Amino acid sequence: MSQKKFVTNLAILIVLNLLIKPFWSLGIEPAVQAKVGNEAYGEYFALYNFSFLLNILLDFGITNFNNKNIAQNNHLLTKHVSGLFVLKLFLALAYIVTTLSIGLVMGYDNRFIKLLLILGLNQFLISMILYLRSNLLGLHLFKTDSIVSVLDRFIMIIFCGLMLWTNVTGITIDIMTFVYTQTAAYACTVVVAFLTVLRKTTSFKLTWNWPFSLMILKKSFPFAILVLLMTFYNRLDAVMIERVLGGKKGAYEAGIYAKGFRLLDAANMIAYLFSVQLLPVFSRMLKYRENVENLVKLAFTLLITPALIVSFGCYFYRNELTGLINHGNTDSAHVFGILMFCFVAISTTYIFGTLLTANENLKQLNIMALTGIMVNLTLNLILIRYYDAFGSAISSLITQFIMAIVQVVLATKIFKFRINTRLTVQLILFVAGIIGFNIFTKQLGYFWMVNFSIMTIASGIWAFVIGLISIKSVLRFLKYN
């Protein structure tokens, strides 16, 4: 696949997601939280993250394995779709039973268990969507995947918007109707994605093939362990806040963390889209022993540039942005300002971690992720008791940057990348410029949105001025075949 095609498809994917997903994260979710209150939403957010922790039982690394495998062996699509579909259903049952059992052991009452059951069903549907999308990505059907990637959110926005801002449905939204709406949207998307994949196969029948399933599970097991470990250190924070502090305070602080986390989650969607598109590309390039260094540098600079602008901008304008997102409420500004710096680390991880995954350096990645859990767990246990949700934000920031640095060092060593002194100097100059533009624009007498826009534009121009992003190099990549 040419880098021209990669950049073009990535642009389509990002535009579609920028049109749909931020409106969900920054429009619908804050409106729902404002409607139901911090405590109710905090309980939902903690359980939502808890439902993520054992998400690996739904997938067992099959999606990443399938994405990579289909990209390298398109002819296996028919066999894998038929065999893996039944296996996914079996894994879903194991996930639901295990998740609810652990929830009961942790002391969740009937109300929590009911909500957890629906959230578990939603996780299964999300997992199925991602699996079906992995087939589209493996076939390099990126435009089709782009549409499927936003379909669920598009449906949710329509129905939640009707309940929030009109009387058309006659339904007053609460946490349960909010969750049921998600269920319906995910189910519709699964149907669309399944029918799309089905058109690319020569046949399909539901059959249980134990030797085939065992073979797939063995091959995907290293991916499964990696996903499990990374899920824990990425999703543990909200669960620990609710459990460590307990009662109403735990639910309230989890709600505060949810507010601060919301924009980071929206931003991470873009970084995640990079990794989803990059995995099959890296896999194919590595199979044919092509040099990946240029593509890594291109992807890194394209992603880290906006990540730095967004992170520093959100820190300096944290009160204004949280007030805008949360209907004038700025109680999460301190958490939000710290969490947004995680976007820089996560963006770096999505580039270098994806490269290492494509190269099957899973042992090193699993050791790294296990270390991340230990660091995150230890810091959370200490800091939450003293600083509540803010302590968890600090814990997340430290953990994410440790993981990012380790992956950059690991990739540099394995692929023998040259130490790019010029890029390092450019990044330092870029960060210095962003800080300067933020300080300067904060002093301007205009409305804060105007100041923020001036900072963003100035920072973007600065990236070109110092050569961090070069028009000539981007055009050269676009013309490369």
pLDDT at 1: 46
| Mean pLDDT (the chain, rounded) | 83
| pLDDT interval class at 479 (50, 70, 90) | very low
CB 375 within 8 A of CB 238: no
Residue with tokens 């963006």: 347
Q: Exposure pattern of 439-464 as b/e (b: 16+ CB <10 Å)?
A: eebeeeeeebeebbeebbebbeebbe
pLDDT at 396: 92
For residue 441, what are the contacts with CB-CB under 8 A and spacing of at least 6?
Answer: 451, 452, 454, 455, 458
Q: Which of 17-31, 92-106, 208-222, 446-460 comes out lowest in average pLDDT? A: 208-222
pLDDT at 64: 62
| pLDDT interval class at 469 (50, 70, 90) | confident
Structural tokens at position 187: 């189910």
pLDDT greater at residue 393 or residue 222:
393
| pLDDT interval class at 318 (50, 70, 90) | very high
CB 257 within 8 A of CB 384: no
pLDDT greater at residue 267 or residue 96:
96
With a cut of 70, say whether residue 68 has pLDDT above it: no
Q: How far is CA 320 from CA 132, 315, 324, 331, 449, in A?
A: 40, 10, 6, 11, 9
Q: Mind listing the pLDDT tens digit for each residue in 327-339?
A: 778 888 999 999 9
The single-letter code of the amino acid at 210 is: W
Domain ranges, ordered by start, for the chain: 3-297+316-418, 419-481
Q: Mind listing the pLDDT tens digit for each residue in 1-10?
A: 445 555 666 6
Q: Mind listing the pLDDT tens digit for each residue in 119-143?
A: 999 999 998 888 888 777 666 677 7
| pLDDT interval class at 443 (50, 70, 90) | very high
Q: Mind listing the pLDDT tens digit for each residue in 347-371?
A: 998 899 888 888 878 888 888 888 8
| pLDDT interval class at 65 (50, 70, 90) | low
CB neighbourhood size of 31 (10 A): 18
Tell me the pTM: 0.75
| pLDDT interval class at 481 (50, 70, 90) | very low
Q: Mind listing the pLDDT tens digit for each residue in 154-181?
A: 999 999 999 988 888 888 888 999 999 9
Highest mean pLDDT among 26-30, 275-279, 327-331, 334-338: 334-338
For residue 257, what are the contacts with CB-CB under 8 A and spacing of at least 6?
Answer: 42, 45, 237, 238, 241, 332, 335, 389, 392, 393
pLDDT at 3: 52
With a cut of 80, say whether residue 118 has pLDDT above it: yes
